[in-house]
Amino acid sequence: MDTTWKLSWQRARNHEGVTRGARALVALAAVLAYGWWADWQAELMPVLLGVIASALTETDDSWRGRLRAQCLALACFGLMAGAVWAAVSWPWVLMGVMALLAFGITMLGALSERYRAIAFGSLILFIYAGLAAHSSRAGAGDAIPRMLAGAAWYGVVSVLWHAVLPRAPVRYRLAKLYAMLGEYLRLKALLLEPVRDVDLERRRMALALHNGRVVDALNATKESLISRMGRGTPPLWLQTAMHQYLAAQDVHERVSSSHEHYDLLAQSFFHSDVLYRCQRVLTLLGEQALKLSVAIEAQTVPQHWGVTARAIEDMQAAVAHLASQPQSVGAASLPAQSRALRSLQALADNLTALAGVFAGALALPAHTAEAAVDYALFDREPRSLRDAWARLRSHWQLQSPWLRHSLRLSLSLMVGFALMQATADPHGYWILLTIVFVSQPQYAATQTRLMERAKGTAMGLALGWAVIQLFPGELVQAALLVLGGAVFFGARHTRYTLATAAVTTLLLLSFHQMGAASGVISARLLDTVVGCVIAAVASWLVLPSWQSRHWPRLAAQVLQTQALYLREILAQYQGGKCDHLAYRLARRNAHNADAALSNSYSAMLKEPLHVRGNAEVVGNFLCLSHTQLNYLSALGAQRGGAAAQPMDEATRELAQSLLASLQQLALELERAQQSGRVRKTHSAPAVAQVLREWGTVPAAPSAHSLMAAQLQLVGKVFPQLQAQARQLVTTE
């Protein structure tokens, strides 16, 4: 029992939601305790609002990065507070200032997640300041300094927390990453099931969609690591975390590899149990990834019982048996038999190497090899003001989702403000708060958020009323108020309905503490509904950013990044395996583009039917592009050792033809983004011609024939991908 509680405690203290809630608990409790000690409970509300606004700007960062972000946030807060103080006496001037600031600061969020959080918190503080001012400059002059003080206090808590406990966010993101990889392995194992009439396309789509979540977890882990990498030698714990991240990248490349179409494997080995053995190894490796996730978060060593090793031995023995008796492969033609067996051997070797990656994930590499490991990471944050300005200028076009979102949000806030003034609603600023909280760049995300907001508000009002009736004591209510704030920040990113219920309860308790609870419940409910309606209508009618409009551009990015990935892989085959930054960046960009495509498709399925375009073509393109990336990943997984040898002329010709074809089709899709039609190209016939001239891949299971086979698979997928790309654009 003691061990179980210890493991639970270790996992809880590293959980991102728990640490966010704990920071809010400390900050809010200190504010309330000081207020009780100084006997100025009536002045607590502005300070609490400042704490909340500051906490909304927080992102995962080192203490130095958090200090810089906090200083920038306070500067933005000061700008917002000054704007409210200057314009609060003239409501319509205040509305114009709010719209301009909302547009400008939302556009700032296009730079990165850090700036998005600062922009969001600043806009929330602007509305809080207007709420506290009550159309009086004197009221604003009293409330705004307290808000800024509360924001600064939370900044102090946050910076100190990140300085004292820098490891927990990294462990949490690594653990989440390996949990995502475990699920990816499970989904991948389903493709190896050699049964008739299985819906492989549905399973491929599930795998492609989950791959987007894996890539998001990889990116989040990378940002967490890069924010803590200094100029000198990193500490041992950070080197270990970096090693685990690079191992996860290797796992992702290997598990996303495909060495042959699964229909051919199922047909060729239908009368053998070898695919079931491969599937069992994949399933066990998925369980191993989940154990590693728990071990990283709980700071323990995962327990293994040798089951995976024995499963690998059985798999290799089954493959060797088939290789010694080629006539048992099946009734297919001899070239198909040879190709299927070669792919099966490559699959078995890849799974064996994958088990080795998991085995070394928890330990640092040997000192002799440590110098050869490239720990460099590519920082996507703006490097200078010129870089930041260039990024903002790239979004200064009506096709940009961020420009559309900024204009939509500004107009929604103006409508909400006008309605507040027309109805003389004393709590009308809650309409504006609802609009800011639920409005998202994507239509689907906005609809999901506003439903969660409405449900959470209703739950929070009921809970808050019950708490006030059951616990009339002020001290108990103050404690529950602090708890509500902690739950809000702990659940804000994962369970928004619960977070909204918690913050609504906090609001009711705060008003009750100030003796102003009369009419708050009905006003809060009505204003939330009004804000949700305004946001919903705006997401539908005001410059909606439908996903079908972005698909030519996203598809072009997929093809272009896959071409660059292939180029880096070919360089590795020429010069030898090296996981340097250029290779890892090309691989990551290819997977990022694939993830953007799958995330866009997921959002498209939640949009109205009449704006989806040809969703079937979109889904086909996604499956084909992900399959093509799988074949390229297999090339990347095979690099090194015997595979790193010069290519012959035929292989080089096919590789160059594929490169040119991918880049040409990407260019045409980019042009089609403007024209709406894609010009026919001869790139696919060129690839087909090379394949015909090349002939059948040699049957010998050499390293070169494995590489040639993968290039041939890519060459066979590309014409199908090109046909879907043409249909995708011409049907818009």
pLDDT, tens digit, for every residue of 323-358?
887 554 444 455 667 778 888 888 888 899 899 888
Higher pLDDT, 6 or 262: 262
Of the CA atoms within 13 Å of residue 333, those in its CB half-sphere come to 4
Phi, psi of 694 (to 5 degrees): -70, -40
Distance CA 33, CA 46 (A): 15
Residue 139 has pLDDT above 80, yes or no: no
Token pair listed for 449:
């958020």
Residue 374 has pLDDT above 50, yes or no: yes
Least-confidence region, from 135-139, 259-263, 326-330, 531-535: 326-330
Phi, psi of 109 (to 5 degrees): -65, -15
The per-residue pLDDT for 267 is 80
| Mean pLDDT, the chain, integer | 84
Nearest to 662 by CA among 579, 564, 585, 537: 564
Residue 684 has pLDDT above 70, yes or no: no
Residue 435 has pLDDT above 50, yes or no: yes
Burial environment of residue 682 by CB neighbours within 10 A (0 to 12, 13 to 18, 19 or more):
exposed
Of the CA atoms within 13 Å of residue 236, those in its CB half-sphere come to 4
Mean per-residue pLDDT for 568-585? 82
Nearest to 122 by CA among 154, 153, 94, 80: 80
pLDDT range class, residue 364, cuts 50, 70, 90? low
The helix (H) or strand (E) run that includes residue 210 is: helix 200-226
pLDDT range class, residue 675, cuts 50, 70, 90? low
End-to-end CA separation in angstroms for the chain: 61
CB atoms within 10 A of CB 197: 5
DSSP track, 636-678: HHH-SGGG-S---HHHHHHHHHHHHHHHHHHHHHHHHHHHSS-
The per-residue pLDDT for 610 is 84
Residue 455 has pLDDT above 70, yes or no: yes
Residue 135 has pLDDT above 60, yes or no: no
Higher pLDDT, 193 or 559: 559
Token pair listed for 416:
């909400």
Residue 178 has pLDDT above 60, yes or no: yes
Of all residues in the chain, what percent carry a pLDDT higher than 90? 37
Mean per-residue pLDDT for 566-572? 88
CB atoms within 10 A of CB 449: 21
Nearest to 362 by CA among 175, 180, 550: 175
Least-confidence region, from 166-170, 226-230, 679-683, 702-706: 679-683
Hey, CA dihedral for 242, 248, 251, 257, is it positive or negative? negative
Phi, psi of 645 (to 5 degrees): -140, 160
DSSP track, 430-445: HHHHHHHHH--SSHHH
Distance CA 732, CA 723 (A): 15
Give the CA angle between residues 395, 396, 397 to the nearest 5°: 95
Strand, coil or helix: 250:
helix
| Exposure string for 407-445, b = 16+ CB within 10 A, e = fewer | bbbbbbbbbbbebbeeeebebbbbbbbbbbbbbbbbbbe
- Quote the strand ranges of 269-386, DSSP E: none
For the question of whether the overall pTM of this predicted structure is more than 0.75, the answer is yes
Residue 228 has pLDDT above 60, yes or no: yes
CB atoms within 10 A of CB 628: 27
pLDDT range class, residue 724, cuts 50, 70, 90? confident
- Find how far residue 432's CA is from the centre of its chain: 28
Q: pLDDT tens for residues 592-635?
A: 999 999 999 999 988 888 888 778 888 899 999 999 999 999 88
The per-residue pLDDT for 271 is 79
Least-confidence region, from 91-105, 139-153, 483-497: 139-153
Residue 229 has pLDDT above 60, yes or no: yes
Residue entry with tokens 């995976």 = 308
Token pair listed for 403:
């420009």
Q: Which of 358-372, 488-502, 645-659, 672-686 has the highest mean pLDDT?
A: 488-502
The per-residue pLDDT for 5 is 67
Of all residues in the chain, what percent carry a pLDDT higher than 70? 86
pLDDT range class, residue 557, cuts 50, 70, 90? very high
pLDDT range class, residue 4, cuts 50, 70, 90? low
Nearest to 112 by CA among 414, 392, 508: 392
Token pair listed for 372:
């050869």
Q: 188-192 long-range contacts, Cβ below 8 Å, gap at least 24?
A: 188/255, 188/256, 188/282, 189/279, 189/282, 189/283, 189/286, 191/262, 192/262, 192/265, 192/275, 192/276, 192/278, 192/279, 192/282
The per-residue pLDDT for 705 is 62
- Find how far residue 647's CA is from the centre of its chain: 37
Token pair listed for 656:
């160059």
Q: 498-502 long-range contacts, Cβ below 8 Å, gap at least 24?
A: 498/456, 499/456, 500/452, 500/453, 500/455, 500/456, 500/457, 500/459, 500/460, 501/456, 501/457, 501/459, 501/460, 501/463, 502/460
Higher pLDDT, 29 or 679: 29
Least-confidence region, from 309-313, 370-374, 480-484, 488-492: 370-374
Residue 520 has pLDDT above 70, yes or no: yes
Cβ neighbors of 34 (< 8 A, separation 6 or more) are none
The per-residue pLDDT for 589 is 92
Mean per-residue pLDDT for 497-515? 85
Q: pLDDT tens for residues 72-85?
A: 999 999 999 888 88
Residue 411 has pLDDT above 50, yes or no: yes
Distance CA 626, CA 201 (A): 12
Angle between helices 551-575 and 581-604 (to 10 degrees): 150
Residue 714 has pLDDT above 50, yes or no: yes
Residue 46 has pLDDT above 90, yes or no: no
Please check whether residue 362 is in contact with residue 295, taking contact to mean a CB–CB distance below 8 angstroms.
Answer: yes
Token pair listed for 182:
């475990």
The per-residue pLDDT for 213 is 93
pLDDT range class, residue 682, cuts 50, 70, 90? very low
